[in-house]
Chain A
């Protein structure tokens, strides 16, 4: 598994992401600057990390979504290459058109930063093989604009095609109500592309890989990718 992490001006989770990838794959990922036009030869997985790319000016992820490197990321994804966007990376995937929909301001207006339970909706994607379907995991969330919105037709398509990757839930695995931290449609925390080789999610699995910080539920995602 050869991974590359794209770094935009304002990214701040690339270090955590690199650590998680190194732990799972045994090798450090390439760090790729946003102004590059190509990914390193033989890249299997591209990751867009969290942060505040370009200060989130205009809209979250809008400017990053049109950065030079995104042409290469688009080509990689179109070839079926694995592509992961976390938090601001998810916003960038939506803004670049690699995933449908948009991340709006949290319905409660507040920036939320806390531990959050998620339900793993399926365990047959390249990202989730080391989870069990329906499993409840606990990872971290930290975002002001994580309220997933799309038109009704898109939501129907995502649900019908089984493209919802993770949903917000409570500790017992119950979805909905107060367990939804940001007002996302259908409690959506992450979605796949139609070929399921692109995953965008708001929560941060890369921050839950070490028992020192309170849990290791994020490890299985990286173990799945490394497999």
Chain B
């Protein structure tokens, strides 16, 4: 089973990398960019029997390691 985990910074958490990318886009002349936030994507292969099991495994993976819940949110997409 293929799945994707997306980890993003919580709203309000300073994202200097996003800010730097935002500035770079502006200096390249890319118009209309009001803001950029940088996140992380993990493509995960799972041996889960069904979607519910896969979701539980991914949730555990996020809470244990993939996301730091002090500053980050995560979203799970199962193919």
Judge: A and B partners, yes or no.
yes
List A residues at the B interface (Cβ < 8 Å).
Answer: 58-59, 62-63, 66, 95, 100-102, 104-109, 147, 149-151, 183
Closest A-chain residue to B40, C-beta based? Answer: A58
Q: How many chain B residues have a CB neighbour from A under 8 Å?
A: 11
Would you mind naming 6 contact pairs between A and B with Cβ atoms under 8 Å apart?
A: A62-B65, A95-B68, A101-B70, A104-B14, A149-B13, A149-B71
Taking a contact as CB atoms under 8 Å apart, the answer to whether B66 and A150 are in contact is no
Taking a contact as CB atoms under 8 Å apart, the answer to whether B14 and A58 are in contact is no
The smallest beta-carbon distance between B20 and chain A, in angstroms, is: 6
Write out, one digit per residue, whether chain B residues 1-43 have a CB within 8 A of any chain A CB (1) or not (0). Answer: 0000000000001101100100000000000000000000000
Apart from A102-B70, A105-B16, A109-B16, list 14 A-B contacts with CB within 8 A: A58-B65, A62-B68, A63-B65, A66-B64, A66-B65, A101-B70, A104-B14, A105-B17, A109-B17, A109-B20, A149-B71, A150-B70, A151-B70, A183-B14
The smallest beta-carbon distance between B50 and chain A, in angstroms, is: 28
Closest B-chain residue to A110, C-beta based? Answer: B16
